Structure 1
């Protein structure tokens, strides 16, 4: 049972890992577009996102429905093949040093085979997505345990284990920029490393937030819709207008001669022109006004920053164990020596990602059987889903 549960949860995370390959660098997008064709790459993106949205619901329904379990297995196999093919494309590009050059118009036979295989994979994933009505699958509003795209709020619970130094560094950056008219501070790190949690801690620190007259938390995600983001900052007074100029004027009035602290969480767009237009009203605040941006894409930081970005690294293994132990209630309810031995092996596979340690700790909190813990440890998806994301999104 534990293996089935974690399998479904981590499949969502692995799909996100594969999808993240598309937002690495412009060079990678150039390679994939020229190698596989832009239309095929876009279809793969869309089909992956559509499938990932169904995994949460399928995870629960598979326990009583063999057809859903088979659907999950088929999806897992298709995503594995897609990942292998992407690896093949990028490896060949690195070998031929074609990252900095254009691909030949005609493909070699082996290149055509990769394209044909990817076409088959995309069709397979598209077919599986179309089976959702037949199987009664719905988009999950809950988003799976390890979904690194879950929209966040400004709320955070308790202390942040293992992040004491990072907290002090962020405080220093904030204090060092108090005399600046507007500071844009990016926190950059891979998915699941704790960027949002650190931003939440700062946002809810009453002592540090003293003097800020306007505070707002906005989850941006993949689509940086400047009209919607501006509306969210303004609040209910924005009404239903879609006129960007009117919204900017209203935002200017809201921020005029006030000290503000705005968090833009999970920003992906590195479009400099869009950012330049968006930030215009923020110039009318007073000294010490701050925009805090969390992002996993370093190009975003280079576009928005007014000071060097803060790079948030993975936790040490000891700190990662503390996060896991805290969530699994160790040793209060799970103090068996054998469980600790297995738990520490599980933590090694978390690769320093606190979200992974927290997720798996919560999953195992009510499990006291050694076999259940071993099922999680030996789950093939656990090994694959905790790959080194840094090599995918931070290169």
Structure 2
């Protein structure tokens, strides 16, 4: 199911469309005004609904109903747009004797009584559905216009690591210490204050790595003053300075600034700013000017999930933290899983190693799953974890992983959220062509309109923003340095999939047509002999928007194309083949 980002995007596009299209319907003007008003009141509570839905089944169901009706209205709009375009083509091609008649049809749409009645009934039907949804909203106690960001006290960090042993980070730790102590970069030899950011997705161990560096004996001997500051999502200069001074009392900014400079002046200090999200260059420059009072060799070490934030802060190129090896994931998992008496038999060890591989190099997953299974001595429970997706656990409240990943997701503006979750349509580990992705976003109307800017340029900015925020990785560029492809970390893909839920489906050897449901909007088909028998099962999908056919079986593709008329809401048809399709597309009026 698409979350509030998708629904909000739909509703924001629907409101002006409804006014533009149906204001010509004088007999339905009152209904149109009611519908627009209802959309506005519903949109105001979407942010709160999205935050509550994971813990409240009623809210989740409410969002699902709202999404279905929003899609229904968009399909009505699409149909109206198609018919307008068709009339324009007819007018262009019409003979002079018929041109006036066609022109009148365009100038006065819905002029036939039958069309007026048909569309009018659709408007009233949609209005009734939205009215019911609006009534249900009142029972959910949803708040309007939520402006405060997510803040989680449990994410406040300290300089001491909670890990008994840190696995797989010895080389990275050594490299960072070498930079801090010897300043081997050379890029900042003439600067008093050096800044080195550590960058990586949530759960990868940035804070843990910074903690091990901070508490290393060589670092303690080198820096006479060491300070740890947990910044988190709210970048407040006063709070940072109060943390540096270890003060809680209220004080003016000027007074705090003076005290900080007195404490740090002329000293070779190390300050760790953990979990930085700030993208305000001026705010960072202000803090840096305050801190830039130490001796040569003074250092600020930061951790952040965003490359964009790292670029703002760094005087030394940021340090990209790597994934753990399967062996290191296993060692971390093993430490937790057998801590509470679970027998370390060959069966448990073999299953545990399989689970460790599923952690995909992210230590938080290995640690969390190991901790959970440490209290389960039934091997069936281990098998259940091995065979389930990671977030199936977090949805039951037994893992912190999804909370961390969702924190990054909630930090995105709506436009970026909806574009990110759309990427669930791609298979895991797929190499995603940037231009293809932008074109898909465009086809589904996901890119917002920006004045005096081409849609493709806006889409490119969205792509770059998602990349800087570590939602994309493994990017490749051409000879001119322009990004062409990227990938998604498995956990990021799973996050998108967990949000989209039943909207994306891949029909292949591992997933039969039995999994096809009416909620599916985006379908990828790996065409071969077996799917030809299941093609008519597609008819159970009521609102398919994307159909992507892959494989070499041309006959199988022809079979799928023969049922295109069953999908009037289709926006994307992608054929990875060289087969002739004109005969099929001629019969499909919407493409």
Superposition TM-score, scaled by structure 2 size: 0.45
User: What is residue 31 of structure 2 aligned with on the other side?
Assistant: none
Matched, 1:219 2:225: no
User: What is residue 276 of structure 1 aligned with on the other side?
Assistant: 285
User: What is residue 263 of structure 1 aligned with on the other side?
Assistant: 272
Matched, 1:329 2:406: no
User: What is residue 239 of structure 1 aligned with on the other side?
Assistant: 249
Question: Is the Cα contact below 8 Å between 2:340 and 2:374 reproduced in 1?
Answer: no
1:142 is displaced (CA, Å) by 8.1
1:340 is displaced (CA, Å) by 2.5
User: What is residue 408 of structure 2 aligned with on the other side?
Assistant: none
Distance 1:326 1:268 in 2: 32
Q: 1:163 to 1:130 in 2, by over 3 A?
A: same
Q: Decide which of 177, 181, 187 is 2:198's aligned counterpart.
A: 187
Question: Is the Cα contact below 8 Å between 2:45 and 2:142 reproduced in 1?
Answer: no
Q: 1:41 to 1:191 in 2, by over 3 A?
A: farther
Q: Decide which of 145, 153, 165 is 1:159's aligned counterpart.
A: 165
User: What 5-or-longer segments of structure 1 have no aligned partner?
Assistant: 1-17, 23-27, 56-70, 89-106, 132-138, 144-149
1:249 is displaced (CA, Å) by 1.7
Q: 1:240 to 1:34 in 2, by over 3 A?
A: same
Superposition pairs for residues 331-370 of structure 1, below 5 Å? 333-370=342-379
Matched, 1:174 2:166: no
User: What 5-or-longer segments of structure 2 have no aligned partner?
Assistant: 16-39, 72-76, 82-126, 144-149, 395-401, 406-423, 430-465, 473-591
User: What is residue 381 of structure 2 aligned with on the other side?
Assistant: 372
Question: Is the Cα contact below 8 Å between 2:229 and 2:272 reproduced in 1?
Answer: yes
Superposition pairs for residues 282-301 of structure 1, below 5 Å? 282-301=291-310
Distance 1:378 1:197 in 2: 29
Distance 2:258 2:268 in 1: 17
Deviation per residue, 1:41-94 (Å, 9 max, x gap): 996555545667xx5xxxxxxxxxxxxxxx4x556778999999xxx9xxxxxx
Question: Is the Cα contact below 8 Å between 2:275 and 2:302 reproduced in 1?
Answer: yes
User: What is residue 13 of structure 1 aligned with on the other side?
Assistant: none
Radius of gyration: which is bigger?
Answer: 2
Distance 1:207 1:230 in 2: 26
Distance 2:230 2:352 in 1: 33
Question: Is the Cα contact below 8 Å between 2:235 and 2:277 reproduced in 1?
Answer: yes
1:153 is displaced (CA, Å) by 1.1
Q: 1:340 to 1:310 in 2, by over 3 A?
A: same
**Structural RMSD (CA):** 4.6
Q: Decide which of 191, 206, 220 is 2:217's aligned counterpart.
A: 206
SS of match in other structure, 1:393:
coil
Question: Is the Cα contact below 8 Å between 1:51 and 1:125 reproduced in 2?
Answer: no
Distance 2:169 2:67 in 1: 32
SS of match in other structure, 1:209:
helix
SS of match in other structure, 1:335:
coil
User: What is residue 67 of structure 1 aligned with on the other side?
Assistant: none
Distance 1:282 1:274 in 2: 13
1:311 is displaced (CA, Å) by 0.1
Distance 2:230 2:134 in 1: 30
SS of match in other structure, 2:231:
strand
Q: 1:197 to 1:41 in 2, by over 3 A?
A: farther
Superposition pairs for residues 72-221 of structure 1, below 5 Å? 73=57, 108=78, 150-156=155-161, 157-177=163-183, 180-221=191-232
Distance 2:206 2:67 in 1: 26
Deviation per residue, 1:146-171 (Å, 9 max, x gap): xxxx2211111433111112112212
* Larger RCO of the pair (alpha carbons < 8 Å, separation 6+): 1
Paired residues, number: 312
Superposition TM-score, scaled by structure 1 size: 0.65
Distance 1:162 1:110 in 2: 58
Q: 1:51 to 1:286 in 2, by over 3 A?
A: farther
User: What is residue 393 of structure 1 aligned with on the other side?
Assistant: 470
User: What is residue 229 of structure 1 aligned with on the other side?
Assistant: 240
Q: 1:216 to 1:320 in 2, by over 3 A?
A: same
Question: Is the Cα contact below 8 Å between 2:151 and 2:233 reproduced in 1?
Answer: no
Deviation per residue, 1:302-354 (Å, 9 max, x gap): 00001000000211222111111111128974323332233233223322110
Distance 2:135 2:182 in 1: 53
SS of match in other structure, 1:334:
coil
User: What is residue 322 of structure 2 aligned with on the other side?
Assistant: 313
Distance 1:353 1:74 in 2: 33
